[in-house]
Amino acid sequence: MGEVQVIFKKEDIQPEELKGKVVVVFDVLFATSTITAAIADGAASVIPVFSVDEARKKAEQFKDPFVMAGEDKGRRIDGFEPPLRTYLKSIIQNKHLILSTTNGTVALHQSRLASSLYASSLLNNPAMAVHMAEHHKEEDVVLVCAGSSGKFTVEDFYGVGSLVYHMQKKGKWGLSDAAVTALGFYRGSGAPRELLMNCRIGRLLVNAGLDPKEIDFVAEEGLFESILTYDRESGQIKEGKNATSSA
């Protein structure tokens, strides 16, 4: 029986310690939610990059049709699409998404030495739990909260708790103290929409002009069945399952 462990923010990631482990990265507002939606909406792949400069270099070398999206400390990057489903849904089908964000894509990059690396969100956690039970039930699983610029974020911890909850329904893992705490937090927090609207990052984004409908969308737990797998050699995230909804 494997154990579920939790990393509270990307700055706590020790890449070498993730070798041989299964890692799932969360950035609920919004990187991993955007990745989930992009794949469900027909993107050929998502390429999470470490920085804006890396995104531009990747774009210069890329031969296939692509879209660049990103933010830097919450601000839109010149020449990039906003990294939100509303903006990407109509333009992403059959294209690769080169994605640069302040926290989520950095966390994925820092976790790339894992034996298996996934991105998850509330949108696809139930399906991810089934996948964990079917493919990784004897392995140690590390759930990574991206956090925000060195700070713990409650929405990522809630996302971790959601996955632990659904994993416990599908299989048996030992839980670290942090995983037990995340599970208890998830069970006791009520509606995800209210939590995401009232957390620090949610308030900052809405006050900066974000349409609350973006938060309504990423709060829809189990909307998609996407299993978002990172390929270390290509640096791409892909999946092979279909969405349960075309919302």
Task: Kindly tell me if the per-residue pLDDT of 226 is higher than 70.
Answer: yes
Split at pLDDT 50, 70, 90, the class of 74 is confident
Superfamily for the 3-235 domain: ComB-like (3.90.1560.10)
Q: What is the pTM of this model?
A: 0.94
- What residue ranges do the domains of the chain occupy? 3-235
User: Phi, psi (5° rounding) for residue 183?
Assistant: -60, -45
Strands (E), the chain: 3-7, 22-26, 45-49, 66-72, 75-76, 96-100, 116-120, 141-145, 174-175, 228-231, 236-238
Split at pLDDT 50, 70, 90, the class of 239 is confident
For 86, left (φ over 0), alpha (ψ -120 to 50), or beta? alpha
Query: Coil, strand, or helix at residue 164?
Result: helix
Between CA 198 and CA 195 the distance in angstroms is 5
* Cross-strand pairs, 117: 23
Q: What confidence score (pLDDT) does residue 243 get?
A: 38
